[in-house]
Amino acid sequence: MKKYLFNGAMALIVGVFIVSCSHDDISQTATVDQMSKSFDELFTELYGPIAENHNWGFNTVLAEAGVDDAAEAATRGTTRSAQPNSNQWGTHDDNDKYLDWPKPADITDTERAAVLAVFNQRGAESYTDIANLRDFFVQQVYCGPNGSKMNELACWDPQGHEVTEYPDWNGYQAYTYTTNDDIVNNFNAGKYSGNAEQGCMLMWYSSTSQWSFKTSQSGGERIYDHWRMEKINGNYYVGLDHEAWRQAPANANEEDKRDYIYNDWILKIVPGQGQGGNSGTPTIVREEPYTETKTTTTTTYRKIVDLGRVFCEDIATATMNVKEDIDYNDIVFDARVWEYYDMTYISENGSSTTYGPSNIYYQYDINLLATGGTIEEKVNDTDVHNKFGVGQTFMVNTWTPNSKAYGQYNTKTMEAANFSYTKYVAAGTDAGISSIPIYVKYKGNNMLALGDKTSGAPYKLCLPVGKLWPIERVNIRDAYPDFGSFVSSPSNTFYDGKNVIENLYTQAPTSSIETDKNNGKGIDYLETVSTSSNSSSVTVVWAGSASEDNTAITLRNYSFSAGKTLRFYGSGTIRVVDSSSQGIFESIPMSGGYCDVYISNDTQAAALNAGIITVSGVSGSNGSSYTLTKIVVL
């Protein structure tokens, strides 16, 4: 219950009300309902019918709903998936998974010329692998005059197919590739086509350590491994030197002695950059990790959402003529409502996201200006007389010689008495001046709320700050003759019309709220209260998109060790295993958008340092489906 209507509050709190007055026309034993009805009746008699839904000058100020911080901003990455143990690249389908490794750029004419300038030079008899790659692309660079006689390019040739008996044809061997050889499939066929030199193939878990080719001769196929590897302008190239036997003197035209010029077929080998694989312990190409810095800046603002001067009437305690006591000066205060809220700006990955408002609360500044009542009165928790520093029998800032109050009343002229309080207000409920609690005490020590009545005569009015209030025991109509038309027509701003100045209290103390308003601090005035900022960095060891079981991902080249904490971003629950299906982390529930996982031992660290981990969903709140978008080291 956010508001206490006068009637409702009485019903809840006391039930039976005994008025303190003895000289008015309200029954001494009236219930609040009866008393209120009497006030309503008198009010209507004085001012006429009350317009429906009269707000008595109070604004409608509903509390803002805060916005929770959103989930982490979208992570960078590309869609990749793994295809186990294949040297096929591109559209090869295996278990419904496709590789999506970035294809190397096509060879340019300038590059080809630079490569040929090296390989056209006579070379040595043998060369060694200077690239030492296991995952790599093979790309056509150049097909020389003898290239058309060569096919079945293979790498990782541990058998050593070198034919050394040349030119003794009797010693030839008709070699065939074995399972130890890694033939670059789907590669040779296009070699002679018009765009042959744009050919490209991915080798996975293979090796750049040996290169060989077949040459077709009438006497049978032979395998040669005449190759040369060079690093040119930072890139690796393999040149092949053609050789062919004669099977017999009759086939002498087939014979082609090698010339140690490795320009008959030239290839480029490009380190593969991607992810995948579920077998072996290949030397994988791992990108370097990168740092993400997240800067969070929180600024607290405050904005004036309501501003006004409140006139209160505690007529129920009237001891004089009730009619004259409707002076609406029993408590007079200026009120200002500040809405405080935080805005959070998160700068991350080169972009900034704003969250908020959050942490919304309201501050109520009260400038007590007068009290023309002699009962205990409180605004929020503050006793009005006490705040003015006077006893309860004193009236403050309402008396003039024109007042109709009898002489037994004490009166004082005082400066404004200021105080503030803050409170949280439920979103969508009243946060305006009308929600400021105002209590008066009646006989029986019950503090009753001068609530914002939604019908009948009002116990409080709200006017613009600066408006003067009636002097003691002068009916508000005798100070503001248009008050009656305000009662029937809320848009009638009676205080801007006629007034009887001698019936208004013109020596009002200075209100700091009025001063502020005159200096431009009106409704919607916005101030920055404070700003704080902090930054944190994480090391990104993987970013991408994984959602299927047995998705192998290649971690960036980070040195994991026990004691580090990893943060997995995504949804669902996953299990992480190594390339041998040995569990590393059995359950990572990313129910809140991420999950922190502690590397607790060297075994886990070693499994991560192997570079490839395989991720699967495990049963959780959303079944076994999951998404994984990023892994960072905190």
Instruction: Give residues in contact with Ca ion (CB under 5 A).
Output: 241, 259, 261, 264, 313, 325, 327, 329-330, 372
Collapsed DSSP state (helix, strand, coil) of residue 446: strand
| Cα 150 from Cα 139, distance rounded (Å) | 16
Residue number with the smallest Cβ distance to Ca ion: 372
Residue closest to 21 by CA, chosen among 330, 314, 319:
319
Helix-strand-coil split of the chain, %, nearest 5: 15, 35, 50
Closest contact distance (angstroms) between CB of 321 and Ca ion is 11
CB of 322 to Ca ion, least distance (A): 9
Nearer to Ca ion, 264 or 578 (CB): 264
By C-beta, is 331 or 599 nearer to Ca ion?
A: 331
Q: Tell me whether residue 338 or residue 495 sits nearer to Ca ion (CB atom).
A: 495
What span, in angstroms and rounded, lies between the C-alpha atoms of 273 and 267?
18
User: C-alpha angle with apex 251: 248 to 253, nearest 5 degrees?
Assistant: 140
Nearer to Ca ion, 319 or 353 (CB): 319
- Closer by beta carbon to Ca ion, 261 or else 523: 261
**Cβ proximity to Ca ion, 42 vs 599, nearer residue:** 42
H or E element at residue 155: strand 150-155
**How near is the Cβ of 318 to Ca ion at its closest, in Å?**
6
Least separation in angstroms between residue 494's CB and Ca ion is 17
Q: What are the backbone angles phi and psi of residue 385, rounded to the nearest 5°? A: -65, -45
* Minimum separation from the CB atom of position 48 to Ca ion (A): 20
In the complex, the smallest distance separating the C-beta of residue 266 from Ca ion, rounded to whole angstroms, is 11
Q: Which of 134, 154, 112 is nearest to 240 (CA)?
A: 154
Please report how close the Cβ of residue 414 comes to Ca ion at its closest, in angstroms. Answer: 15
Q: How many CB atoms sit inside 10 A of residue 143's CB?
A: 18
Measured CA to CA in angstroms, residue 499 lies from 323, 336, 472, 493 at distances of 19, 26, 16, 12
453 vs 517 by CB, closer to Ca ion: 453
Residue closest to 536 by CA, chosen among 349, 353, 296: 296
Residue 82 contacts residue 278 (beta carbons within 8 Å):
yes
Give residues with Cβ within 8 angstroms of 425, minimum separation 6.
63, 360, 361, 362, 431, 435
266 versus 269: smaller Cβ distance to Ca ion: 266
- Is 328 within 8 Å of 335 (Cβ atoms)? no
**Alpha-carbon distances, residue 589 vs 8, 174, 193, 567 (angstroms):** 51, 58, 52, 11
Alpha-carbon distance of 18 to 445, in angstroms, equals: 11
Distance CA 167, CA 536 (A): 70
Q: Please, which residue, 67 or 261, has the CB nearer to Ca ion?
A: 261
Query: Between vectors from CA 421 to CA 419 and to CA 423, what angle results, nearest 5°?
Result: 165
User: Could you tell me the two tokens for 425?
Assistant: 């207000």
Cβ at position 610, least distance to Ca ion in Å: 41
Q: Would you say 495 or 594 has its CB closer to Ca ion?
A: 495
Residue 270's DSSP bridge partners are 137
Q: Partners of 155 in the beta sheet?
A: 182, 211
Cα diameter, the chain:
146
Q: From the CB of 245, what's the least distance to Ca ion, in Å?
A: 15
Closest distance to Ca ion from the beta carbon of 329 (Å):
5
Q: How far apart are CA 595 and CA 608, in angstroms?
A: 17
Query: What is the distance between the alpha carbons of residues 609 and 560, in angstroms, rounded to a whole number?
Result: 6
Q: Least distance to Ca ion from the beta carbon of 399, Å?
A: 10
Give whichever of 474 and 605 is closer to Ca ion, judged by the CB atom. 474
